[in-house]
Amino acid sequence: MKSIVISAFAGLIFLLLLPRCGQNESASATRPEITDEAVNPEVKEDSAEAGFLNLGEFTLIKKEGYMLARDGAGRTLAVIPRGAPHPPGFEPTMVVEIPLRRVAVYSWFDVAIINALGRADTIVAVTTPEDGWHVDYIKRGFQEGRIAFLGDPGAIDYETVKTSNLDLIMTWDPSIVPMMDQLGLPVLVTATPIATCLSTQIRFVEFLAPFFGEEQKAKDFYQKVKLSLEQIRAKTKGLKKPKAMWGDIYEKRVLVEPGNAWVAELIGLAQSDYLFDDVYGTSCIEISVERFLYSGRDADLYFTYRTAGESKMYSKEALLRINPLLEGVKPLTPAGKAFAPLPHYSQSADHLDELLTEIAAILHPDAYQGYRLKYFLELPDKDQQSPNTQS
């Protein structure tokens, strides 16, 4: 969702999508209903090619010879062809020259979308160390010395930033902007305080594409993902609706995906009931333990944030050992089903069509008979021999 321990949250939140957890409970809020705009090919869609693109907080507007890009923090940057004169009224750190050649990226989601655009070669610095990656193109970059570790997001090594010769830093953390201004580096904030909706999730590739000069690849990627949603809608139409929940209980907090998050909207699209549909706010939002357990009594399916294998967690029994409070959640009994993301799940947004299809297959296994899970582990009731969770 770019969940659990901080590193596990990071990718889940911005695929699930974003590394920014909420502090407040918003169960009484009313979320806007999902529309057909994300999935219906008959709906007219704005496009960067037409000169304007709006995805929630993210906007691209074409001007004469350059573009204006509004990021997730509401900042407006001028995006200009490399070597072109800077437009008036913009500080140097608010001007981005394209196509990008060298970028630092915080979010696993953004890394994957850049890979979908065919430009993973531009990624030269990240905030996850080498042993935290489960995708080959980044692991190779470390091994070949093309990618540097910037340090933990809360403790960036500014010397590495200065020596990486960056064109741009893409981050979910707006607090780095003042320091990057001092270093003379432009920053693009790719996250917002509100959870990413389904439409933004599948179309964010269109926002990033012009920065790399890969608009056609973005269009192809979007069409592929949109087709998968159309197929999900057709396959699940009229089926009995299972009840699903997504989140977890930690030592001092209970965190869930709100009803306005993309996974919640997908669950609704796939003819299923999401039990936190009335919660609105940021991804990984905090609610009360009482509310979590109340919904858990009625659930048929449970998606945990905890990565399969974390704390030797490969079964419902193991998950209950981590947190006995979960005994009240029906899917953690033989009466329901529970699923944990595999380690590579949160770094696989470049396979977003497959991720969406897999979630639909989990919700409606009868409609996807013979489907083999690639991104999630179905947790058995009791401990078994640890499965191979390598990507």
The arithmetic mean of pLDDT across residues 40-62, rounded, is 71
Cα separation, 251 vs 311, whole angstroms? 14
DSSP character at residue 171:
E
Strand bridging mode 187-189 / 168-171: parallel
Q: DSSP for 256-292?
A: E--TTSHHHHHHHHTT-EETTTT--SSSSEEE-HHHH
Q: What is the pLDDT of residues 201-238, one digit of tens each?
A: 999 999 999 999 999 999 999 999 999 999 999 999 99
Report the C-alpha gap between 378 and 316 in whole angstroms.
Answer: 9
Rg (CA), the chain: 21
For the record, the structure tokens of 297 come out as 């009594």
Q: What is the pLDDT of residues 103-129, one digit of tens each?
A: 999 999 999 999 999 999 999 999 999
* 41 band by pLDDT with thresholds 50, 70 and 90: very low
The residue written with tokens 């970028």 in the block is 103
Domains of the chain: 6-31+200-378 (3.40.50.1980), 37-196 (3.40.50.1980)
Of 134, 133, 113, 111, nearest to 124 by C-alpha is 111
- Is pTM beyond 0.85? Reply is yes
**Mean pLDDT (whole number) for 56-82:** 96
